[in-house]
Amino acid sequence: TTDREGLAIIFALKKFYIYLYGREFTIRTDHKPLESIFGQKNQTNTTVSARLTRWSTLLGCFRYKIEYISNKNNPVADSLSRLPIPLKEIDEDTKTLQVNFITSEF
């Protein structure tokens, strides 16, 4: 899970690079190990994977602080992964209209 949490940070930094580069910002995470792996006082740790070490090096070009937020203080943690997707009912007429529309083009 540490790799996935780290990948989420790297993905966000690459996605918003033009907004973040050269500015100071705070990374908030609910994954405690990332605080020591990606922290500013990071010493090269030989117990983490090469991928995490590479990502830590990539983070070196940014000015950031990393902050751990416990689940008690973070009520929206993982809400997207736990949120059930509501299934909406599609009536038969709508299905027929969609099929007729698609097949009438050919």
Instruction: Convert the pLDDT of each residue in 11-63 to its tens digit.
Output: 999 999 999 999 999 988 888 888 877 876 655 556 678 888 888 888 888 89
Print burial letters for 54-83: b (CB count within 10 Å at least 16), e (below 16). Answer: ebbeebeeeebebebeeeeeeeebeeeeee
Q: Would the pTM count as exceeding 0.75?
A: no
Does 68 fall in a domain?
Answer: yes
**48 secondary structure, DSSP code:** S
Range of the domain at 65: 1-84
Task: Among 2-11, 42-51, 73-82, 95-104, name the most confident range.
Answer: 2-11
Asked, for residue 11, whether it belongs to a domain, the answer is yes
Residue 65 within a domain: yes
Is position 8 within any domain? Answer: yes
Using alpha carbons, list the distances in angstroms from residue 97 to 8, 89, 90, 94. 41, 15, 11, 5
Number of structural domains found in the chain: 1
Phi, psi of 93 (to 5 degrees): -65, -40
Position 87, amino acid: L
Which two three-digit tokens encode residue 8?
């989420």
The answer to whether residue 104 sits within a structural domain is no
Residue 41 CA to residue 56 CA, distance in Å, equals: 11
Q: How many angstroms separate the CA atoms of 48 and 46, rounded?
A: 6
In a domain, 98, yes or no: no
d(CA 88, CA 9): 33
